[in-house]
Amino acid sequence: MARTPTGALVSLLVVLLLGGCGSPEERAERAVSARATAIHERVLTLDTHIDIPLNFATRDVDPGVSGDFQVDLPKMRAGGLDAGFFIVYVGQTERTPDNEAQAKADAMTKFEAIHRMAEELYPDEIAIAYSAADVERIAGSGRLVAAIGIENGYVIGRDLSLLETYHELGARYMTLAHGGHNDIADSATPRDALGDAAAEHDGVSAFGEEVIAEMNRLGILVDVSHISRAAMLDAVRLSEAPVIASHSSMHALMPHPRNLDDEQLRALADNGGVVQTVALGAFLSETAARRAAELRNIRGAFGMIPGQPEEDLGAEPYEDYLGRIEALDARYPDATVADFVDHIDHAVNLIGIDHVGISSDFDGGGGILGWSDASETLNVTLELVRRGYGEEDIAKLWGGNLLRVWTEAETVAARLSR
Ligand SMILES: [Zn+2]
């Protein structure tokens, strides 16, 4: 958003270069690049799904330093990513009192981490948005914006009053379930290890209906990513405010249970909601899904645990590992920004530009070739410009639609609270 002297200088250089040499194709590409850069600087860019680890905003994971994670403040600045929903994610476990207490404790740890980042460590660089208007105000001040979303309604257990507690801490959307069913809704990906049947509630449970009503009253957006098809259609019907899919892509292009089919997309648009297309390879292309499965196999063969860096392997196995990855790259390349924008195009053609947005799922499994971390965010705008999207449409995709839906949820909450 904020125009920095460096930004202005870069723009000037781009303009000077444009008049320069090269083939007509090169000149055309430079013109596209200059246009995309200018649009990217002007529009508000908001990513609706950025995961954080439990030790976020500590000495181990300092968001003020460009490190191993896909998102930190320097990478957001470098990529022109103005705002992000930082996610209070808790995985589904067996629903026992002890496990529910642990889920609440983990949620509080992540809320505290996000507040520590914005209020103690980097108050001059980033601030927490509690309303849609806050997002624009904070971005307008030149700071980055942290909004907060909860991923997995499991964090409330059976206690509706916790929704108010989390709302006070800044939660403005909540994904009803994650991998595995919970007491609120069925998951799109039931888990054998948790003893899940294909369906437990055939959609949203009776308790889930109360949860949605309370979320509407408080102004917490209902997030339908991760829940089963039946639960998603229930949520759209039950919610008085428009719903969001905070990080899902399009089933018509990649039939993965985490994606939304055309009927779901139409239902979401009829409800006034928005689907935040997600840059996660396995949801975007068959090849990338094969790659993800093969990568798990390779890592398993080397005895690596999830998240373990390959450098830990020791010199000889590391060389061997790199060879296997090189072969994998050649055989099953990851999804690209073009694949990603194919999903955006499909949704825009089906339900219109007002109901589509963008998310990364960075540090939670997301990231593709060309948008592998927040510093590469401009590449998404570049591809949108190549496809012929104008500035107004790009502004809607990059956050305008999400802020409209958020504002509508605030209006519904004000009405219901009267
Ligand atoms: Zn997720």
pLDDT digits (tens, 9 = 90+) for 222-248: 999 999 999 999 999 999 999 999 999
Same domain, 160 and 302: no
pLDDT at residue 309, as a whole number:
80
Give the distance (Å) from ligand 1 centre to CA of residue 173: 13
**What's the pTM value of the predicted model, to 2 decimals?**
0.93
Give the distance (Å) from ligand 1 centre to CA of residue 361: 7
- Give the pLDDT confidence of 103-127 residue by residue, as tens digits: 999 999 999 999 999 999 999 999 9
Give the distance (Å) from ligand 1 centre to CA of residue 50: 9
Give the end of a domain, one of 300, 334, 368. Answer: 334
The verdict on residue 84 lying in a domain is yes
- Full 3-state SS string of the chain: CCCCHHHHHHHHHHHHHHCCCCCHHHHHHHHHHHHHHHHHHHCCCEEEEEECCCCECCCCECCCCCCCCCCCHHHHHHHCCCEEEEEEECCCCCCCHHHHHHHHHHHHHHHHHHHHHHHHHCCCCEEECCCHHHHHHHHHCCCEEEEEEEECHHHHCCCCHHHHHHHHCCEEEEECCECECCCCECECCCCHHHCCCCCCCCCECHHHHHHHHHHHHHCCEEECCCECHHHHHHHHHHCCCCCEECCCCECCCCCCCCCECHHHHHHHHHCCCEEEEECEHHHHCHHHHHHHHHHHHHHHHCCCCCCCCHHHHCHHHHHHHHHHHHHHHHHCCCCEHHHHHHHHHHHHHHHCHHHEEEECCECCCCEEECECCHHHCHHHHHHHHHCCCCHHHHHHHHHHHHHHHHHHHHHHHHHHHC
Q: Given pLDDT bands bounded at 50, 70 and 90, which one contains residue 9?
A: low
Give the distance (Å) from ligand 1 centre to CA of residue 248: 8
pLDDT at residue 307, as a whole number:
73
Number of domains in the chain: 2
Same domain, 163 and 306: no
Give the distance (Å) from ligand 1 centre to CA of residue 14: 38
Same domain, 109 and 165: yes
Same domain, 146 and 293: no
Same domain, 188 and 106: yes
Give the distance (Å) from ligand 1 centre to CA of residue 325: 25
Give the distance (Å) from ligand 1 centre to CA of residue 171: 16
**pLDDT (average), residues 51-56:** 97
Give the distance (Å) from ligand 1 centre to CA of residue 86: 12
- Give the pLDDT confidence of 258-275 residue by residue, as tens digits: 999 999 999 999 999 999
Same domain, 275 and 300: no
Give the domain range for residue 322: 286-334
pLDDT at residue 10, as a whole number:
63
Same domain, 99 and 131: yes
